Each structure stands twice: as C-alpha cells, then as structure tokens.
Amino acid sequence: MMPRRRRQRSGAALIAALVALVIVTSILGSMLLGALATSRQLHAERDLRQCELMLQAGVDRAHFRLRRDANYRGETWSLPAATIVGAGDGQVAMSIESVSDSAAPQLRVIAEYPLGGERSIRRSRTISVPSNTP
C-alpha cells in the first residue's frame, strides 16, 4: 500500500507544478503584451511629435523664404531618415495660395512622417500671410 501513496503524491505534485507553470507563463505573457503595447504607444507619440516639429519647421522655412523672395510660391522639402529620428523619411509641402484678389494669400503647410508608411502621420496648417512680409 505504501507504493500506491507515493505514486499518488508524485502525480499530485506533478499536476501542481504544471498548474504553477501555466500561471507563471500566463503572467509573463500578459507582461510582455503590456510592454509591447507600451512600446507601440511610445513610438506613435514620438512619430506624432516629430511630425509636429516638421510642420513648425516648414512654417518657419516658408516665412524665411517669403522674407527673402516676394515671388516664393512654395516647395516640397524631403527629409531623409538619417537627418531626423531615423525611423523613416519625412516630407513637408509648402504652398502659397491666393484665395481671392482682396484677401491676403495663405500659406499651407503639410507634413507627413514617416513618409508613405502604414502608420504615417499627416498634419497640416494654414496661415494668412500679410502682403507686406517684413
């Protein structure tokens, strides 16, 4: 009768060890999924901030060009990944548009980062440009 009890106890210990292993594995899986979601969120926030910085840089660049050249009508500014964060290329399109003869022209700036990606972010800004740009 003693051998039977040992076999029953060793089987119960094996089942308890397997249950503990399943619990630990599920906890580790949940932690890894949480870390992956956090990493994706941080990358999305970084890309959003980079796009906003590129947008502001485009506005500043267009204002600078307008001060130097009254005939400036816009440009497309391509930024390789090596010059920015390195996650992808970026692009800023700037254009001066006349709404009507009496209204002041408008500067329209569109920034996209990373360029052409599945998760690319695009932001735009339209600003009235005074006719007598200093």
What pLDDT, on a 0 to 100 scale, did the predictor assign at position 2? 53
Give me the mean pLDDT over the 74-102 stretch.
86
Structural domain containing residue 28: 2-128
Average pLDDT over residues 85-96: 88
Q: Looking at the domain assignment, is residue 12 inside a domain?
A: yes
For residues 1-16, give the mean pLDDT: 66
Q: What is the pLDDT of residue 1?
A: 46
Cβ atoms of 123 and 59 closer than 8 Å: no
pLDDT given at position 8: 52
Number of domains forming the structure of the chain: 1
DSSP lists the bridge partners of residue 91 as 78, 112
For residues 48 and 132, the model is more confident at 48
pTM, two decimals, is: 0.73
133 in a structural domain: no
Percentage of residues of the chain with pLDDT beyond 70 = 87
Q: Would residue 134 count as lying in a domain?
A: no
Average pLDDT on 54-82 reads 91
Asked whether residue 45 is domain-assigned, the answer is: yes
In the prediction, which pLDDT does 105 show? 85
Residue 96 in any domain: the answer is yes
Q: Which residue has the higher pLDDT, 1 or 27?
A: 27
Domain membership flag for residue 59: yes
